[in-house]
Structure 1
């Protein structure tokens, strides 16, 4: 699926191809929650890094979160003008990019189920909206984005 996204002020726009466009993973870790999760979580999609095209790249800034006192290899890209979270790239997986669903302007398909990640890190005020088919984890699940799509017959 071809996705188009932007920041709030419009200084940055981007597009990419996503074989995994369903916004189904809700991450409650402190990094996602504090950098991109107004509802107490962030939703990342999966995309192909080699298809990412950006305009306004000069105003894109990168944040490396600290994990156990060490900078993460994950690069959280955001607009330096309005602060909108845009995407995460990690050179450990150079073929992937993870745009935040909140930055996507293209209508996204509704997922048939959701996965709630790192619930042991959620803020005390967050009450996850868990539906009967949803899965909940205090850790990262073993199933990848691709495997989740294949299991549910959502491969494009």
Structure 2
């Protein structure tokens, strides 16, 4: 599926193709919660990195590379995904992880195209959820994980035919 996305102020727009455009997984980790807001979680979808095309505002895009655990000494810190955003309106656009160079992870909230409704969902990193969120009240056909699930985003789509 060909997807189009943009930031809130319109300074940045992009396109990406996805073989798995279903927004099904809510991540409650502190990085997603603090950088993306929302209901205390973020929802990414799976995009093909080689199809990502910035159609407006390429020079404006900034990135942030979060640290998984800031409580450890700097030399031991593990970096996680780069998170790309518009510096004007602060809209997060997509993430990219060095471990999986073939994928980008557009934030569902940045996608302007109509996305399919998931038949099932998953909530991950519940052990990191803020107390003010209520991730335990999950929709029907949902899975919940205290940490990361044992399967990949790609595998979930294969298993659920979505």
Superposed counterparts of 1:104-143, under 5 Å: 104-128=111-135, 129-143=137-151
Instruction: String of CA shifts for 1:48-107, please: whole Å, max 9, x gaps.
Output: 000000121111111011223426142100001100000001122111100000000000
Answer whether contact 1:118 1:140 (CA < 8 A) is retained: yes
- How many pairs does the alignment contain? 154
Extract unaligned runs of 5+ from structure 1: none
Q: CA RMSD in A?
A: 1.2
- 1:146 partner SS: helix
CA distance in 2 between counterparts of 1:134 and 1:78 reads: 29
Instruction: String of CA shifts for 1:89-133, please: whole Å, max 9, x gaps.
Output: 112211110000000000000000110000010110101240231
Residue of 83, 87, 90 corresponding to 1:83: 90
Answer whether contact 2:5 2:15 (CA < 8 A) is retained: yes
CA positional deviation for 1:150: 1.8
Superposed counterparts of 1:33-112, under 5 Å: 33-54=33-54, 55-69=56-70, 70=77, 72-112=79-119
CA distance in 1 between counterparts of 2:78 and 2:161 reads: 37
Q: TM-score, normalised by structure 2?
A: 0.91
CA distance in 1 between counterparts of 2:94 and 2:57 reads: 14
Answer whether contact 2:67 2:79 (CA < 8 A) is retained: yes
Q: TM-score, normalised by structure 1?
A: 0.94
Alignment correspondent of 2:74: none
CA positional deviation for 1:23: 0.3
- 1:34 partner SS: helix
Extract unaligned runs of 5+ from structure 2: 71-76
